[in-house]
Chain A
C-alpha cells in the first residue's frame, strides 16, 4: 500500500459525517477504509480493530466521544446490559464517554498512535481519563462561532506533522505524549514574542532546560540568556542582584554594578523559582515588566532594560497569590493564561523509553565513560568496538536478538516493568539519575560484560540495584502529611470553615514549633511566604504568644 504523504487517518464513528467532512475539506488525507464492505470510517470496535492491529497502517485516529449505538454494538464483546431500569440508567450515564472505552482498547494495541478525540462538550470532559489515555482533545466550538470542520482538519494535520518532528531539542526531550506535543506548539507560537512567560511544573520536569534549550534559542534574541535563581540569593541582596547598584549604595559597593536585568540586555532573563522572590523585590520587578525600566540601588534615575523575562515556578502561583505570598498584579504580568506547563513524568509514561534512550546515549557519548566501557569490553575478550560504533540500551532481553550494536546494556524485563510502574515523584531528573547510577554500576563495578555468540559485549543491568534505587527515590519523595484537627462546632457553614482554618493553623503552628517560615514551607512548599502566613495567622485571631 502506498503511504499517503499527508497521512492516513482512521475515523472511528458510527456516523459517516466526520469522515465525509475530512474527505471534503482535506482531500489529500487518506481515509483508511474499515468494515465489510469497506467504508471510509469504522462504526464499531469490531471494524476498527483489524485495521489498527496491522502495524503501520494508520498514522492517526479521529475518534468520536459519543456514539449513537449502545455499548454492546460498539464493543461487541461486551455483554448486553439488558433492559431493566438499572441497565437503562447505566446506558444513559455511559453515553457521553463511549469513545473512552474505544480509546482504552486502541491503547492496548497501539500505545503511541496519535488519537484525536472529538466531542460536542465545550471543553474536553473526563479530562483526567483522556489524558491518561493520551488523547489529543478536539472540542466543537459553541454557538455561532462554529468552524468545526476547519479546526478539526487543522488539528489532524498538526498531529500528523508531529510525527516528523525530532523527539528532542538539544538535551530537552519532547517525546510523543499529547501534553508535550501541545506544549511544543504553544512554545513555537509564544517563544518568538516579547511577552513575559511563565513556565510551571513540578521539580525535575526540566523547566530550566526548556528555557535554555528551547525558549531562548527560539526567541530570536541575540543577547545572552541570564539565569537568576530566586531561591539562592539572600533576601537582602535581591534588589541589587536584580536591578544593580551604584557605588556607595551599601557597604562594600565599591563600584557601579549592573543587575541581571541589564546583563540580559537584548536577551532572556530567566527567573527560576520565582515563587521565592521576597515581597520587597516583587514590586520593582513589576515595574520592570510594566515599564521596561529598572533603577539601580542608590540611584534616582531609571534605566531602560531590553530583557525578555521568563519565570519558572514549582508551586501554584495563583494559590500563592490568593494567600498573599505573591503579588496578584505581578502574576498577571507573567501571563498565567499562557503558562507553559511541563507535565509530571507520571503523566507521560509513553515517553519513558525515549527518555531512557536519551539518558543512555548521553552516557555513551561521554569520552571517559566510553573509554571505561571499551576497556571492560577488551578485558572480557570481546572485539574492541570501532570508534564511533553505537552502543545500545535494551529494555528487554528479547531485544538482543535484533540488536546490531557491538556493545549492549540489557535491563531485564521485570526491571523495565518496575520503571514503567514507578510514580517518579522527582520526574525526569530522577529517572536520569536512577538510570545513570544503574549504568555506572555496570560500567565501573560488577563482573563486566559477557561475550555472546555474535561476539557482542553484553552488560547486564542489575534489577536488584534498580529496585533499591527506586525505593531510595521513593524515600526521598514528599510524603503525604496529615494534620489531626479537633472537630469545630459552628452555627453556619462560614463559621465552620473559619474555625476549621483556625484549627488547621494551630496544628501547623505546633507542627512547625512556632516557626512561621517552617509553617510557610509546610503549607506552600516555600519559606518565602512567611510574612503572608503570619498575617493570615493573626487575621484568624490567633496569637503566637498564646499558642506557645
Chain B
C-alpha cells in the first residue's frame, strides 16, 4: 500500500516542477520583450534546449518535464494536484510540438512558443501555490 504523502513532500514535489520546469522555461526572459525574432530565437534555444545540464548531458525542457513528471506525477496526483500538473503538461506539449522546428520558426511561431513558455511558468506557479495550501484560483 502506498503511504499518503506528507504536505512537505507535496510542496517539495510541486516546487520541483516550478523550479526545474517553470523557472527554466523563462530563465533568461528579459523584462521587455526582445522585439527581434533572432534574439527571441536565441533566448528560446538557450532556455528550452538547455533546460538542464548535468554529467555531460543536456536536456530540453520537455525532457526535464518528462523526468520530473515521472518522479513526482503520481505523488502530486494522489495529493489532488493532477489537474494543475496537467495544465503544466499542456503548455509543455505546445513547446514539444514547436521546439524541433525552432531554427526555422517564423516570427508568429516564435511568439507562440514564447507564449507557451509563459503558460508553463504560470501553470507551474499555480501548482506550487495550490501545493502550499493556497486554495483554488
A interface list, Cβ under 8 A from B: 14-17, 21, 24, 66, 68-69, 85, 89, 92-96, 119-122, 140, 142-144, 146-151
Contacts and interface: CB of A to CB of B under 8 A. Distances in A.
Contacts of A68: 20, 52, 54
Contact of A143 (B13, B54, B118): B118
B124 to A, nearest CB: 8
B101 to A, nearest CB: 24
Given A120-B15, A143-B118, A148 B26 contact: yes
A120 B31 contact: no
Contacts of A21: 27-28
A89 B128 CA distance: 18
B31 A92 contact: no
B125 interface: yes
30 contacts: A15-B52, A21-B28, A24-B28, A66-B15, A66-B16, A66-B19, A85-B3, A89-B6, A92-B12, A92-B13, A94-B12, A95-B12, A95-B16, A96-B16, A96-B19, A120-B15, A120-B19, A120-B22, A120-B23, A120-B128, A121-B128, A122-B128, A144-B118, A146-B26, A146-B29, A146-B121, A148-B26, A148-B29, A149-B27, A149-B29
B125 A122 contact: yes
A362 B104 CA distance: 70
Contact of A150 (B24, B31, B53, B118): B31
A142 B119 CA distance: 11
Interface of B: 3, 6, 8-9, 11-13, 15-16, 18-20, 22-24, 26-31, 50, 52-54, 75, 118, 121-122, 125, 128-129
Nearest to A89: B9
Nearest to A65: B19
Contacts of A93: 6, 8-9, 12
A21 B30 CA distance: 11
Contact of A147 (B31, B125, B128): B31
Nearest to B18: A120
Give the top 3 A-B pairs by smallest Cβ distance, nearest first: A147-B31, A143-B122, A96-B15
A5 B82 CA distance: 50
Contact of A96 (B11, B27, B129): B11
Contacts of A85: 3
A15 B54 contact: yes
Given A121-B128, A140-B23, A144-B118, A95 B53 contact: no
Contacts of A148: 23, 26-29
B16 A143 contact: no
A122 B127 CA distance: 12
Nearest to A17: B27
Given A21-B28, A140-B23, A147-B30, 16 more contacts: A16-B53, A21-B27, A68-B20, A89-B9, A93-B8, A120-B15, A120-B22, A121-B15, A142-B121, A143-B122, A144-B118, A146-B26, A148-B28, A149-B27, A149-B28, A151-B31
Nearest to A66: B19
A114 to B, nearest CB: 22
A96 B13 CA distance: 9
A57 B47 CA distance: 31
Contacts of B28: 17, 21, 24, 148-149
B129 A122 contact: yes
A329 B53 CA distance: 53
Contacts of B53: 15-17
B9 A143 contact: no
B76 to A, nearest CB: 11
A225 B8 CA distance: 51
Nearest to B129: A122
Nearest to A149: B28
A14 B55 CA distance: 10
Contacts of B16: 66, 95-96
B80 to A, nearest CB: 17
Contacts of B125: 122, 142-143
Nearest to B22: A120
B110 to A, nearest CB: 16
A94 B13 CA distance: 10
A119 B132 CA distance: 15
B14 to A, nearest CB: 9
Contacts of B129: 122
Contacts of B18: 120-121
Given A15-B54, A93-B12, A150 B128 contact: no
A424 to B, nearest CB: 33
B29 to A, nearest CB: 5
Given A68-B54, A85-B3, A142-B122, A150 B30 contact: yes
Contacts of A121: 15, 18, 128
Contacts of B13: 92
A143 B13 CA distance: 19
Contacts of A147: 29-31
A16 B27 CA distance: 12
Contact of B9 (A92, A119, A150, A151): A92
A119 B24 CA distance: 12
A69 B20 CA distance: 12
